[in-house]
Amino acid sequence: MAPGLVIEIERHEENPPNIYHVRIWVRFNRSVVLGYNFEPWTTIEENREKQISFFNVSVGDWIQKGDVIAKFLQFGDGAHIHFDILENNNYHCPKKYFSTEGYNQMMELIHYFHPDWDLCYP
């Protein structure tokens, strides 16, 4: 989405049906942090670890807009990636941060996996 410093890679364990997923946090500037939450929709811990093995970044890496940070592994029908925007520690819909071209590219990616999804939840 944007350039920044990889500041954290979080492993998550939550409730089924998507118990294992992982998030990459990227600091864009002092007030904005970007999150890429890879949810392969799996209850198998090895699948989460396989997703992590496909990451191209580590904590401390600097990424540029357009860099491929990971290959996404889709294990189930609900598989998706959340794009989180935290500005001053508050979540925001990322739509206002996109150019028209960037928004269209993002929607193309989203619709590749889920044709009826929007960018943000109501």
Q: How confident is the model at residue 27 (pLDDT cuts 50, 70, 90)?
A: very high
**pLDDT above 80 for 122:** no
List the domain boundaries for the chain: 4-113
Tokens representing 75 are 């294990």
Residue (of 12, 25, 105, 23) closest to 63 by Cα position: 25
Q: Where are the alpha helices (DSSP H) in the chain?
A: 45-53, 100-113
**pLDDT above 80 for 33:** yes
Cβ contact 60:5 at 8 Å: yes
> Which residue type occupies 111?
H
Q: What is the pLDDT of residues 35-81, one digit of tens each?
A: 988 888 788 888 888 888 999 999 999 999 889 999 888 777 777 78
**pLDDT above 80 for 32:** yes
Q: How far apart are the first and last CA of the chain?
A: 22
Q: Is 0.75 surpassed by the pTM of this model?
A: yes
Number of neighbouring beta carbons within 10 Å of residue 51: 24
The domain over range 4-113 is classified in CATH as 3.90.930:
no
Q: What percent of the chain has pLDDT over 70?
A: 98
